[in-house]
Amino acid sequence: MWQTHPNPLQDNTAYSVVKQYFVNPDDTVCQKIVVHKDGPRGNHFRRAGPRQRVYFEPDEVHACIVTCGGLCPGLNTVIREIVCGLSDMYGVTKILGIQGGYRGFYARNTIDLTPKSVNDIHKRGGTILGSSRGGHDTMKIVDSIQYRGINQVYVIGGDGSQRGAGVIFEEVRKRGLKVAVAGIPKTIDNDIPVIDKSFGFDSAVEEAQRAINAAHVEAGSADNGIGLVKLMGRYSGFIAHYATLASRDVDCCLIPESPFYLEGEGGLFKYIEKRLKENGHMVIVVAEGAGQKLIAENMKEMGQDASGNALLLDVGLWLSQKINEHFKKNKTTINLKYIDPTYMIRAIPSNASDNVYCTLLAHSVVHGAMAGYTGFTVGQVNGRHCYIPFYRITEKQNKVSITDRMWARLLSSTNQPSFLSKQDVDDAKVEDERTAKLLDGSPSNPKVEDKVVPSNSNGVK
């Protein structure tokens, strides 16, 4: 049986007005809330929040925070709120910032973090800790954790970084160390499954509007004007999808999940000709991972980055060239303007709603680690924050469902052709069925079959 201690929050006057502040440790959150009366109820995850008793004494805590992977709005807010949550709510004083991603653990690049040092960082984009791809050496990282006496590790990163955190958790457990390893999922593409959305996504969509608005102004100010905007979305087109829906100025949205073709009836070129004839201008939004199968095989990929992601050819430049070539061949003059706001979108500070969301995520992960949970990431599922085993958010990618109502709403808004063959639709339905099975609680990882984060296997011992 664990030795536990009273939660310091019970003596915190700021929280004394809350009617029921502490969460029952047996409370769970359902991943699937719409079910048939005779159907499976799906996965449940342990509800996030403060417990009446905690595993760690505040003066014994030595925490560290690391940010990994690409930039995303809200990183600094999450860092700030983990630090302030540990300090203000629990009285923790020893908090390290690991600089430069995972390799910072063994390169020994660290800074001390205090509420004063992080006071206004939420107003800045990027991450004060720096970040990098790759550099994950499990043994060196855990050696460093053990050598420094760290007992709480907070990993802010995407699916690859969360997978790495899961490996760290397993090695920590193998060594019998009393260390809580917790994650905060980060992806600007919103491609992490299970959770409602990832932090920074709302800010990214909002900023994408500026690029779309500029493209619309440029296109509308010229004869046969075409505004082409490339947005982030390597394998998942959520930013392009939601920015298009929010804008209502977009005539065509192209994403990785929905194949398209250029030539012939029902193709992109015919649709562009139609829109130019009707309106005199048009706006196209394309996600960076769209149309890769149309690009020549020898130009499709230019190797991989340090995280193992394919380096794709710039589909925006390629599409600009193809559109210009098509209309030049047909002796039609067009005015095409190409806008790529990729690094502008990911480098901005988070907006108001993301700042609040980041705060809730950070406080939730702190409550979980202090209570002794480990091997989990924190996220909002159906509006409730909960603790999710690492493997659950790394077993697949969240993608736009082209058989979903939201995609139908986009097609209705843009009036673009679907570009889909019957085979494309059938393939999409198969993928949707596979996703539904995961929601029903059919684990793709046969080693882990718990539907709830179990305290006996996912708690610090």
Length of the chain: 461
Q: Tens digit of pLDDT for each residue in 401-448?
A: 999 999 999 999 999 998 877 777 777 777 767 766 666 655 443 333
* HSE-CB for 349 with a 13 A CA cutoff: 11
Q: Does 189 appear as a known binding residue? A: yes
Q: What is residue 454's predicted lDDT score, i.e. its pLDDT?
A: 39
Q: How confident is the model at residue 15 (pLDDT cuts 50, 70, 90)?
A: confident
Q: Does 161 appear as a known binding residue? A: yes
At residue 206, the 3 state secondary structure works out as helix
What is the pTM (predicted TM-score) of this model?
0.89
- Fold classification of 202-347 is Rossmann fold (3.40.50)
Range from 32-46, 105-119, 124-138, 354-368 that averages highest in pLDDT: 354-368
* HSE-CB for 375 with a 13 A CA cutoff: 24
d(CA 455, CA 394): 21
At residue 226, the 3 state secondary structure works out as strand
Which structure tokens are listed for 254? 């192209």
Q: Are strands 225-231 and 310-312 parallel, antiparallel or unpaired?
A: unpaired
Average pLDDT over residues 371-399: 95
Q: Are strands 376-381 and 252-254 parallel, antiparallel or unpaired?
A: unpaired
d(CA 454, CA 182): 15
Burial bucket for residue 149 (CB in 10 Å: 0-12, 13-18, 19+): exposed
Q: Using a pLDDT cut of 70, give the percent of the chain over it.
A: 89
Q: Does 101 appear as a known binding residue? A: no
How many helices, marked H, and strands, marked E, lie in the chain?
15, 17
pLDDT at 461 over 60: no
Range from 48-52, 104-108, 307-311 that averages highest in pLDDT: 48-52
Q: Tens digit of pLDDT for each residue in 223-242?
A: 999 999 999 999 999 999 99
The dihedrals phi and psi of 271, each to the nearest 5 degrees, come to -70, -40
Q: How confident is the model at residue 308 (pLDDT cuts 50, 70, 90)?
A: low
Q: What is residue 459's predicted lDDT score, i.e. its pLDDT?
A: 52
State the DSSP code for 186.
B
* Domain parsing of the chain, residue ranges: 5-198+350-399+435-439, 202-347
Q: What is residue 443's predicted lDDT score, i.e. its pLDDT?
A: 46
Average pLDDT over residues 204-224: 97
Q: Does 394 appear as a known binding residue? A: no
- Fold classification of 5-198+350-399+435-439 is Rossmann fold (3.40.50)
Catalytic positions, please? 189
Q: Please count the other Cβ atoms lying within 10 Å of the Cβ belonging to residue 444.
A: 12
Q: What is residue 109's predicted lDDT score, i.e. its pLDDT?
A: 82
290 and 260 in contact (C-beta within 8 Å)? Answer: yes
Q: What is residue 17's predicted lDDT score, i.e. its pLDDT?
A: 74
Q: Residue 92: left (phi > 0), alpha (psi -120 to 50), or beta? A: beta
Q: Does 299 appear as a known binding residue? A: no
Q: What is residue 445's predicted lDDT score, i.e. its pLDDT?
A: 39
Q: Tens digit of pLDDT for each residue in 118-160?
A: 999 999 999 999 998 888 899 999 999 999 999 999 999 999 9
Fold match, 5-198+350-399+435-439 / 202-347: yes
Sign of CA dihedral 127, 373, 361, 308: positive
Query: CA torsion 228→230→234→236, rounded to 10°?
Result: -70
Q: What is residue 446's predicted lDDT score, i.e. its pLDDT?
A: 34
Range from 249-253, 312-316, 415-419 that averages highest in pLDDT: 249-253
